[in-house]
Every structure is written in C-alpha cells, then in structure tokens.
Structure 1
Amino acid sequence: MAKRNMIEREAKRAKLVAKLGKKRDALKAVVVSATASYDEKQAAAVALQKLPRDSSYTRQRNRCALTGRSRGVYSKFGLARHKLREAAMRGEVPGLKKASW
C-alpha cells in the first residue's frame, strides 16, 4: 500500500489538471501560434509560468486503483500487476485468464 500522502497528492494533481487544463492548453496554443505577435506570446508564456506546476497533466502518475502503487500499473485495467493477477485468478476481469502451455 502506498503512503496516504502520495495518494492524496495525486488526487490533488488530478483536481488541478481538471480545473486549469483548458486554460493551460489555450495559453500553450498562443505560445506556439504562428499568427500571434511576439508580445502576445510573451504575455502567454508569463501567464503559463504563473500557473501551478501540478496543473500540468504530465506531472500525474499512474497509480493502482486498489493499493495506490505507482509502479507496474497496467493502464488498461488501472491495477498494479499483483492486484491484476489476483483479480484474474478470481475471474473478476472479463476475457483475461492466466496463460498456461
């Protein structure tokens, strides 16, 4: 089980991304725009820098939905490898079974 503060930190990041994601995307579009003037680009870059770092979606980390583990997480299922294997053995994941040959 991951530390409680790490799980809460990820939840906080997800909230910030949901809240400021559109604003951040709009500012980034102005910065890379070919039609925007130099002053507009500078103003957009300054505004982008003033936003919290955690509002960037790239700062989020995939975590297991059950344990909060950050490594070995299958994004398709949202579970860490240990919990995915346990769920597959119990038959809780449709269409997934342990390989045997």
Structure 2
Amino acid sequence: MAKKSMIARENKRAKLVARYAAKREALKKIISNPETEFADRMDAVDALNKLPRDGASVRQQNRCRITGRPHGVYRKFGLSRNVLRRMTMNGDVPGLRKASW
C-alpha cells in the first residue's frame, strides 16, 4: 500500500492538470505557430513558465487504483501487476485467466 500522502499528492496533480489544461494548450499553440511574432512567442513562453509545474500532464504518475502502487501498473486495467494477478486468480477480472501451455 502506498503512502496516503503520495496518493493525495497525485490527486492534487490531477486536479491541477484539469484546471490548467486549456490554458497550457492555448499557450503551446501560440508558441508552436510559425507565424507568431517573436515578442508574442516570448510572452507566451513566460506565461507558460509561470503556470504551476504540477499542472503539466507529464508529471502525473500512473498508480494502481486499489493499492496506489506507482510501478508495474497496467494501463488497460488501472491495476498493478500484483493486484491484477490476485484478482485474476479469484476470477474477478472477466475474460482474463492465467496462461498455460
């Protein structure tokens, strides 16, 4: 089980990403547009740098929905490998079973 503070921090990051997503996207469009003047581009870069660092989506970490484990998480299920294996053995994941050959 992950520390509660780390799970709370990750939830805080998710809220910040949702709040600043539109603003970050608009600033990035201004920066990447080749027709934008240099001064406007630099203003957009400064505005982007002043936004909260945790508002960037790349700073989010995939975590297991049950235990909060940050490593070994399958995107399709949102579960860590340990929890996914346990749930598969119990038959809690429909359409998934242990391979045998």
Normalised to the residue count of structure 2, the TM-score between the two structures is 0.97
Q: Which amino acid aligns with 1:48?
A: L
Q: Which runs of 4+ in 1 moved over 3 A?
A: none
Cα distance in 2, alignment partners of residues 35 and 95 from structure 1:
51
Q: Does 1:49 align with 2:64?
A: no
- What is the percent sequence identity of the aligned residues? 54
Identify the residue that residue 76 of structure 2 maps to in structure 1: 76
> Pairwise CA RMSD of aligned residues?
0.6
**Unaligned stretches of 5+ in structure 1?**
none
Q: Pairwise mapping of residues 25-36 of structure 1 onto structure 2 (< 5 A)?
A: 25-36=25-36
Listed one character per residue, the Cα deviations across residues 19-67 of structure 1 (whole Å, up to 9, x for unaligned) are 0011001101111111111111011000000000000000000000000
Aligned length: 101
**Unaligned stretches of 5+ in structure 2?**
none
Cα distance in 2, alignment partners of residues 92 and 39 from structure 1:
57
Identify the residue that residue 63 of structure 2 maps to in structure 1: 63
Normalised to the residue count of structure 1, the TM-score between the two structures is 0.97
Q: Which amino acid aligns with 1:64?
A: C
Q: Does 1:38 align with 2:38?
A: yes
